[in-house]
Chains A and B, each alone.
Chain A
Amino acid sequence: MISWIAPLQPLLLGLVLLWSARLKLLSPLAAAAAGRSALARLVGDTRALPAYRLVGAVEAALALVLLAPPALPAEALAAAALSLGFTGYLAYARIAAPESSCGCLSATRTPIRGRAFARTAALLAASLLALPATAGWAEALSARPLPAVALLLAEALLLVALSPELDRHWLDPLRQLKVRLTRPLPAGGFDVPLASTVEQLHRSPVWRETATLLTSDLREHWDDDDWRILVFTARHAGQEASAVYAVPRLRFQPAAVRVVLVDEPTGQILLSLQSPPDTPTPDWTRPTPAPAPAPA
């Protein structure tokens, strides 16, 4: 059993290390990835990129040695040592710079969590599995092509599943599919949201003239047929009053907004204001570029 599994591990390890080295050596985002990683904390900001590139070079060299025949136990030991080093680095990063990015397989900002540790543990296990290998991976592949390919695919899938930086390629689409099938969020079905009415108020000519009088945020609101009534506290002529706005509820017509300032203890109306019906709607009240979807 182990006789055909062991020779395949250097192939897997080599490919993963090459992938990892590609980011560190060739990617134009390497500098950014290095700056975000815990290396900046470990060796200093100025030396983070050279150190990052050095790690990449070591990875690439080890990958080539692993991929090239012959298969030697020393190669597997070196891979295990590298995996152990990664584990130590991750532990250091988790403790010393918990906000840092992994910088492992992708320049995407990836905080170090349990999956990163599980991935290095898997690589360590693969390295140890490779120790007893006597033949090269090419012979193992040609001897049992089907099980060999299946095993490599399974291992690769495991590594992908343990890589948070690859989530957007498979996990996010899966979750989007689930959302499309189950539709877990409400698709409307209730009244015009308050935020929509408040926005219409903010776009009205009446608001432009009276907003400076207000001292409070929205105090209360209720619906009355075609109108939604919004009450604020205002200060007018040194006197505290309630600013009562009536905003069209089911139509977008900011020019129709009206207000009265009421002194509530006495019920006296201090000020009443509404725009003339022919007030042109200013350009900025029209939603651009497309008209707003009519709230249900």
Chain B
Amino acid sequence: MTETVDRRRLLTSAVVGSAALAGATALGSLAPEAAFAADAQPVEPGAPDPNFAEGRVTGISAGMLFVTGSDMALWRIRITGGTSVWKLRPTTFDQVAVGDGLYARGLRLPDGTLAADSVWVNIVNVHAHIAAIGRNVLHLDHKGKRIVGHVVPGTSAARYNDTPAVADMSLLRVGKHVQVIGAWVPDTNEVEIATVYAAA
């Protein structure tokens, strides 16, 4: 824990404390040849992207996720210190559970594993109508099927008319169309809401 605090203090002072550098100071080079030293692997048109994986987590071991894709492909996804993990919010590897669904993007290594850059766990993107509103719950009508959207106080945010996200959910109206980005609760019709897009 103190290690985390120390590290964060160090990184904070590195970015905020460098105010003495006047103007557009660039330490290091942003030249394209430096930035793009590692060129991207081209993907043949029509071929599956080898650097992308999706499926349900069937096993977890040290730093590795075993994932069964929807096409029954078996994936080994390596989580490194540089991997971002999203599960309703930016989180850590230990929050991933067996049974979760995920999308992962990274780099396919020669041994067949995918070294993940980013992993999005249980992420869903739903266009729906609000059928009813309960205490911290949106009942969504998605093509005639019901989805229960849980508002997570402190995490869920709303974007009205493309203005910056706010915590205020009270402008949502029954019968209106919304788009919900959220985290699916595995094997249920329930999602936890990360961001809801609506007109107000």
Give residues in A with beta carbon < 8 Å to B.
Answer: 99, 109, 111, 113, 168, 172, 175-176, 179, 182-196, 199-200, 209-210, 212-213, 215-222, 224, 227, 229, 231-233, 235-238, 240, 242, 244-246, 252, 258-262, 264, 267, 269-277, 287, 290, 292-293, 295-296
Contact = CB atoms under 8 A, between A and B. Distances in A.
Contacts of A264: 7, 81
A169 B60 CA distance: 51
Interface residues on B, range: 35 or more
Contact of A260 (B15, B85, B194): B15
Given A185-B169, A271-B30, A168 B162 contact: no
B18 interface: yes
B75 interface: no
Interface string B162-200: 111111111011110000000000000000001100000
A246 to B, nearest CB: 4
A194 B89 contact: yes
A260 to B, nearest CB: 5
Given A216-B83, A260-B15, A276-B23, A295 B136 contact: no
B89 to A, nearest CB: 7
A175 B84 contact: no
A186 B136 contact: yes
B151 A186 contact: yes
B12 interface: yes
B151 A275 contact: no
A233 B143 contact: no
A90 to B, nearest CB: 14
A295 B153 CA distance: 15
Contacts of A192: 167
Given A179-B174, A186-B151, A272-B26, A236 B14 contact: no
Given A99-B144, A261-B28, A274-B25, A229 B165 contact: no
A278 B28 CA distance: 22
A240 B164 contact: no
B82 interface: yes
Contacts of A195: 157, 159, 164-165, 194-195
Given A185-B133, A186-B136, A195-B165, A269 B143 contact: no
Contacts of B28: 236-237, 261, 269-272
A283 B178 CA distance: 28
Given A216-B83, A246-B15, A287-B162, A188 B134 contact: no
Interface stretch (B33-41, B42-50, B66-74, B94-102): B33-41
23 contacts: A111-B143, A175-B175, A182-B135, A186-B151, A187-B169, A190-B154, A193-B157, A196-B157, A209-B30, A210-B30, A215-B117, A219-B83, A219-B90, A222-B8, A233-B83, A237-B28, A246-B12, A260-B11, A270-B27, A273-B24, A277-B23, A293-B168, A296-B167
B113 interface: no
A219 B194 CA distance: 16
A200 B164 contact: yes
User: Secondary structure at chain A's binding surface: helix, strand, loop or mixed?
Assistant: mixed
Contacts of A242: 11, 82
A180 to B, nearest CB: 10
Nearest to A100: B144
B151 A185 contact: yes
Contact of B167 (A113, A172, A188, A274): A188
B21 interface: yes
A217 B169 contact: no
Nearest to B35: A213
Contacts of A258: 15-16, 18
B35 A237 contact: yes
Interface in B115-170: 117-118, 120, 132-137, 143-144, 151, 153-155, 157, 159, 162-170
Given A194-B157, A244-B11, A273-B24, A293 B163 contact: yes
Contacts of B194: 195
B61 interface: no
B26 A273 contact: yes
A15 to B, nearest CB: 27
Contacts of B144: 99, 109, 111, 113
Given A276-B23, A292-B163, 9 more contacts: A176-B174, A183-B170, A193-B167, A196-B165, A218-B84, A258-B16, A272-B18, A275-B24, A276-B24
